Amino acid sequence: MFKQLKARFGGGLAIAILSIIAVWLIALVILPQLLMVDYSLRPNLLPSELGGEKDTYSLINYETLFANKIHLTIFLKTIWSSVLVTLLTLCVSYPLAFYLAKVATPGQAALCILLLIIPFWINEILRTFSWYIILAYKGPLNSLLLALGLIDRPMRFMTGDGAVMLGMVYAYILFMIFPIYNAIENLDMNQIKAARSLGAGWIRTHYRIIIPHAKPGIATGCIMTFMLAAGSYAVPALLGSPGSRWFTQIIYNWFFEGGNWNQGAAYAFLLLLICIGFIALVMRIFKVGLGDIAR
């Protein structure tokens, strides 16, 4: 990497770039994670007890999750729901990404991309709150359904995980569309034409030609969407009900309401491990490496 940077920018600038990257990785990624691990292995003590006999390393903060059935259920539900959000986002994003890359004219693609990006100029909390208004008991969606005669009384859309998943698909759709779009855009259109000329239908063409070519983009989009969904706090807090809590809300409660940073760090580190495991699983399923994802 240094040789490539040196050939392009010169030795001095290459060293400066690598130094900035190293400082960023160490100060903002590695050290905070190490500090979180250190917190998670120590008990929650009074300031006067720090460094004393009770200040020892143990796994008791991790054991708390498996001993607490409610927290464990929420943890497992969060992982499963994040996987489902990723799959739903992929199903919505793939056709749109293919349309933008290979079907739409440059003008149509530019207009669609602009329409996708404009809502994201607004803060995520405001965008999520707009869905809260739309899905409210006396909101526009219920009013429209009542006016059309499709329902005889308002429905409560925010009583389960459905509203949370809908909000997350909307919130993170760009993180799925653009990696897939970039991957499909590089595909030679002649390969698609050749497959169609040889009698392959659209489903077979996508399965044999387009999807294999777009695997790095699909893997990148799935990884980014899953990690954002698993670590989301604003969407489940606004669109969720008491029965649809997210694991990040439990972590937030430990840190800022319970004042137990050690327990919160243990929960946060477990969630990080699951995310790392998901990345490894996606890379194995799609048979891609870090270089393919970072491309």
Give just the sign of the alpha carbon dihedral 41, 43, 49, 54: negative
- Which of the 8 DSSP states describes residue 293? H
- Contact assessment for residue 161 and residue 73, using Cβ atoms and an 8 Å cutoff: no
- For residue 138, give the 3-state DSSP assignment: coil
CA atoms within 13 A on the CB side of 60: 9
**Beta-strand (E) ranges in the chain?**
none
Mean pLDDT of the chain: 87
Please tell me the predicted confidence (pLDDT) of residue 188.
84
Q: How confident is the model at residue 7 (pLDDT cuts 50, 70, 90)?
A: low
Tens digit of pLDDT for each residue in 151-210?
888 888 887 788 898 999 999 999 999 999 999 998 888 888 888 888 888 888 888 888
Residue 211 · residue 218 · CB < 8 Å? yes
Is residue 218 pLDDT above 90, yes or no?
Answer: yes
Question: Judging by beta carbons within 10 Å of its beta carbon (0-12, 13-18, 19+), is residue 215 exposed, middle or buried?
Answer: middle
Instruction: Give the pLDDT band (50/70/90) at residue 257.
Output: confident
67-294: CATH homologous superfamily?
A: MetI-like (1.10.3720.10)
Distance, CA of 23 to CA of 90 (rounded, Å): 35
- Residues whose CB falls within 8 Å of the CB of residue 290, separated by 6 or more in sequence, listed in order: 283
Per residue in 63-111, pLDDT (tens digit) is 999 999 999 999 999 999 999 999 999 999 999 999 999 888 889 989 9
The residues near 261 (Cβ < 8 Å, ≥ 6 apart) are: 39, 44, 254, 255
- pLDDT confidence band for 3 (50 / 70 / 90): low
Domain positions in the chain: 67-294
Are the C-beta atoms of residues 98 and 203 closer than 8 Å to each other?
A: no
